[in-house]
Structure 1
Amino acid sequence: MSTLDTTYRQQVALYYAEHHGWIRAWLYRKLGNACDSADLAHEVFLRLLLRPHRFDSDSHAQAYLRSMSRNVCVDFWRRRQVEQAWLEVLAGRPEAVAPSEEHRALVLEALQQVHAMLARLPEKVAEAFLLAQLEGLGYKAIGERLGVSERTVTKYMAQAMYQCLLLEAELDEALV
């Protein structure tokens, strides 16, 4: 470990000591759950360790940590939405064909990654992709629905498919 790494870790430890309490309290007000708030407060500092950032002042650090706290909160709510949708699908299935807990966890993780990938796409690109995949619409019908040309839909689909390939490569790499 280099001196820079050690110095940065010490700085993060200082930020943790100074800011963890108010971050946890802020998250608790947003979530209403002490356990989730504590987990997410730790996630803020884990992200700070994983993606080092230098601050000009304590107020700069506090603003950055506040922004990170909002981001982890939004990510949490998104994960919960995906999880809830998956549980609703499972509830509609007979118990005899219910997947194992391991299979449920794998599917939920994949769904969350696909959801995150779609959220990163421009809105019309994601909408075009979903119309094709979920409703089975052709490019012409998608173009009419979105008010764009068929050629534009082709570009949108190329963007979405490229992101799908990147996600697939990430998932394949994670399994190795």
Structure 2
Amino acid sequence: MAPEPTSTPGFDQFYQEHHEWLVRWIARRTSGFDNAQDLAQDTFIRLLDRPSLPAGIRSPRAWLTKVAGNLLIDQARRQVLEKNYLALLENLPEPECPSPEDKWELLGLLEQIDQLLAGLRPIEKTVFLMARLDGLTYREIAEQQGLSLSSVEKYIAKAMLKCYAAVYENE
């Protein structure tokens, strides 16, 4: 069993000075106070993963808003992904509809794919997914997207390189 992370006096003070402000900042940008509380906690957890940070942050509120803003973007991306996935499932005939457990697992896989492809431009993601998920040829993708064949090849190569790096980065 892993030991519980211990906080430091610097972190405790940092948390006390900025937590309430951060919750208010997030609450103004999101729906619900509970969600703001959760995102603020996630923001401070990121800080706990980097123990030398509290003393080294020159602009604490700027750092907190950047991290919290990134978490808000991640949350919004997840909500869009989940909404689109659930809309797709609604159109499936009942015998083909996955079980709740399978839905949950598939949503997790979709999130992993989305995180894996983070950093790619939307057109690069779209082209890659059209090739890999829809099974379209590069020429079909180029025609549907109004792109040159060489652009499609370049986008798919960039996405595949990102996937390769994610798989083999720890080796």
After TM superposition, the score normalised by the length of structure 1 is 0.74
1:141-168 CA-to-partner distances (Å, cap 9, x unmatched) read 4445454452x43332222123334556
**In the alignment, which residue of structure 1 is the partner of 2:155?**
156
Per the TM alignment, residue 94 of structure 1 is displaced from its structure 2 partner at its CA by 4.3
AA of the residue aligned to 1:24: V
Report the identity percentage: 33
Is 1:15 the counterpart of 2:20 in the alignment? no
Alpha-carbon distance in 2 for matches of 1:103, 1:51: 35
Distance 1:123 1:78 in 2: 13
* Bigger fraction of residues in helix: 1
CA distance in 1, matches of 2:92, 2:140: 32
Match for 2:79: what amino acid? Answer: R
1:81 CA displacement: 0.8
Conserved in 2, the CA contact under 8 Å of 1:55 and 1:61? Answer: no
- What residue number does 1:83 align with? 82
Deviations 1:55-90 (A, max 9, x none): 353xx1111111111111111111111111122122
Deviations 1:98-138 (A, max 9, x none): 43332222111111121222332244432321332455442
Q: Is 2:57–2:63's contact at 8 Å kept on the other side of the alignment?
A: no
Partner of 2:100: 101
Correspondence list, 1:1-176, <5 A:
9-52=8-51, 53=53, 55-57=56-58, 60-133=59-132, 136-143=135-142, 145=145, 147-150=147-150, 152-165=151-164
- Are residues 89 and 20 of structure 1, via their aligned partners in 2, closer, same or farther at CA, if it must alter by over 3 Å? same
Give the superposed CA RMSD. Answer: 3.0
Consecutive unaligned residues of structure 2, counting only runs of 5 or more, are: none
Structure 1 stretches of 5 or more lacking a match?
A: none
Paired residue type of 2:19: H
